[in-house]
Amino acid sequence: MPAPTDLEQLFLELINDARLDPLGNASRYITSYSPLVSSDSAIQSAVDYFNVSGSALLSAYQGLTAVAPVAWNNNLATAAENHSVAMIAADEQSHQVADEASFGDRLTAAGYNYSFAGENVYAYSESVLYGHAGFMIDWGNGPNGMQSPAGHRDNIMNSGFSEVGIDVTAESNQATDVGPLVVTQDFGDRGLTFVLGVAYTDSDNNDFYSVGEGRGDLTVQWGSSSTTTAASGGYSLGITSGLRTITLTGGGLSGAVTVTTTIQSDNIKLDVVDGNTLLTSTSVQVSGAVSVIRGIGTLYGGLTLTAGSGNQQVIGTAGSDTLSGGSGNDDLIGD
């Protein structure tokens, strides 16, 4: 059962960034909609080739609703990896190559007993960002240069999914047409809820996870359940509804950090960055060794972020937030 590689973790971070803030995520690969411009030359070539309409794309993105993040699942990742291998062997992009089991049977064989599932595949991705943009723009031979319906984008933004497994396999064999990256994303739901996130050191100062930045030493605990981040920095931990206290240790933190929040049915995302910053997708009360608490996403239209004693920066989202610094000399910063 594979833990995420750095490339797969980056894909997961881009997926969850899109789910939590669709337009904000799009700014990572779109710099202008009129004309449609990407800072990535490969993405620019693709949108030019398919003649993607910038105004239609912007309208589609503006119509998206933020949804809760998805948690990594090893069984889904196994199914995804097996399918990427099958596509490479068949040298084609397909959801079911010759003599391969159906999608549902593949998930079941990998040990994932789902109530709802979906799949994205891209056998010709130039990079992780290129693949993500391809899924979100959903470029193709449809109206305005996009597929209709936009099934890949719909999967990424589907609120019914709570888990995902991703495979990114490099394929450089000159005898095959697929590659350089073959990507499979398998989404699913089993009616469970997770706290998830990533620990990383932002070495390139781009305010986002990058390959090579993950920390494999953050421990996340609530009650008697705990997990430690993978080498790529990612983690997921099942959690039940109610008022919950989550404790974070390691990951560069100088001491324990406790996060109190009310869990309902949505997954929540808690990231630790640079050993001093907590990013949260939900309302929280935080105490311990962090100097910055920052809300992420637009899911709830605003968060309530409360710090404990000490001197912290508490930074809100683009919504209507309620920020409290607790005791100490704090900076409260609205977006």
Tens of pLDDT, residue by residue over 70-96, are 999 999 999 999 999 999 999 999 999
What average pLDDT does range 194-206 have in this prediction? 99
pLDDT score, position 286: 98
Q: What is the pLDDT of residue 328?
A: 85
Helices (H), the chain: 6-20, 22-26, 41-49, 54-62, 74-90, 103-109, 128-133, 151-156
pLDDT band at 321 (very low <50, low <70, confident <90, very high): very high
What beta strand segments (E) does the chain contain?
Answer: 32-33, 36-37, 71-72, 116-125, 163-170, 181-189, 194-200, 218-222, 225-228, 234-238, 242-250, 257-263, 268-273, 277-280, 284-288, 292-295, 304-307, 313-315, 322-324, 331-333
**Cα gap 158→64, rounded to integer Å:** 10
Residue carrying structure tokens 């931990």: 237
Q: What is the pLDDT of residue 137?
A: 99
Whole-number pLDDT of residue 146:
99
Could you tell me the two tokens for 272? 């630790």
What local confidence, expressed as pLDDT, does residue 265 receive? 96
Task: List pLDDT tens digits, range 283-310.
Answer: 999 999 999 999 999 999 999 999 998 8
Q: Is residue 1 over pLDDT 70?
A: no
Q: In the chain, what percentage of residues exceed pLDDT 70?
A: 100
Two tokens, residue 89: 């062997």
**77-115 in b/e burial notation, b at 16+ Cβ within 10 A?**
bbbbbbbbebbbebeeeeeeeeebeebeebbbebebebe
pLDDT at residue 280, rounded to an integer: 99
Torsion of CA 33, 39, 45, 50, to 10 degrees: -20
- At residue 55, the pLDDT reads 99
| Predicted pLDDT of residue 330 | 86
Supply the Cα-derived Rg of the chain in whole angstroms: 20
pLDDT category of residue 264 using cuts at 50, 70 and 90: very high
Question: Is residue 161 predicted with pLDDT exceeding 90?
Answer: yes
51-71 in b/e form (b: 16+ CB < 10 A) is ebbbeebbebbeebebbbbbb
Q: Which two tokens stand for residue 135?
A: 């899924």
Closest of 11, 22, 231 to residue 125, by C-alpha = 11
Instruction: Tell me what the mean pLDDT of segment 103-123 comes to.
Output: 97
Region 217-225 average pLDDT: 98
Decide if pLDDT at 61 tops 60. Answer: yes
Q: Per residue in 34-53, pLDDT tens? A: 999 999 999 999 999 999 99
Contacts of 180 (CB under 8 A, 6+ apart): 125, 126, 170, 171, 172
User: How confident is the model over 246-262, as pLDDT tens digits?
Assistant: 999 999 999 999 999 99
Mean pLDDT, the chain, rounded, equals 97
Please state, in angstroms and rounded to a whole number, the distance separating the CA atoms of residues 79 and 113.
12
* Residue 190: pLDDT over 80: yes
